[in-house]
Structure 1
Amino acid sequence: MTVVQPPVRAAGCVLWRRVASEDGLEIALVHRPKYDDWSHPKGKLKRGESALAGAVREVAEETGMDCRPGAPLPTSCYVANGRPKQVRYWAAEALAGAFTPSTEVDRMEWLSPAAARRRLTQERDRELIPALLAALGWRDG
């Protein structure tokens, strides 16, 4: 008999800010040295924590930024370490804060939508950028 494990619940944000450039906005990506990957800020939910509260907490922990969450974005479902994982995402505008490197996240970069799409390690993360732009009513950069 196969035991089906419930998915690991996680949440994150596609963090963005307005800039005076051709694109008009930039997206924050974080580098995790443990995996040597570039991704959107995200993480596992704490027991009893709502997905939205967890997403905002993870943004603060990984980027040092306060944010204003907005539209929900597509949920990513995949297998990580042999277990199903479900990550709920929101668009979130960066308000204030400063990045401080840690053992979990050693770098953060603000990139144009096109550059962010190229930098992201996982295809599932790249798909969130056009979803963000559509949610904001922004032209695809």
Structure 2
Amino acid sequence: AGWHEYLCQVCWWRSIKAFAVVRMADSEQVAFAQKLKYSLDAIMDSYSNMLNSSRITGRDCAEREKLQLTAHAAGVVGETQTLLKMITELKLSVLTSNLEDLDTIVDKRNEEFARERCGNVEKVQRIKREVDLALDQLEAHYYSSVYR
């Protein structure tokens, strides 16, 4: 369940990033994407460092482990606050921008996804037919073989 939750969080953050890229001007997009990437990388580094620190064993290391975990937890909190500020900026950007443009963009993306879905279904059906034909040929060759 831990990896599933992690993947859901990553997908959620990627969707925030994608939404932000659509809404902001080019120069703002680059700056926002860089800030977002830095914040997410810092949070992931802090979490992995917390996990690595928790693996330290021994009585001598207990105090050091406690200090490391506190430092990494503070890093997670700080970067999370940065992300919350970025989300607030994104919300303000959306509220002050033209929402009709956003609807148009979302509709276009939905149409693109629908076209891709139809194309993918056709590709899967074609591949299925090719595999069926290849298996039939292989089976016929096997049964007609003298080495059977």
TM-score, structure 2 as length reference = 0.21
- Which structure shows the bigger proportion of residues in helix conformation? 2
- Which structure shows the bigger proportion of residues in strand conformation? 1
- The structure whose RCO (Cα within 8 Å, separation 6+) is larger is 1
TM-score, structure 1 as length reference = 0.22
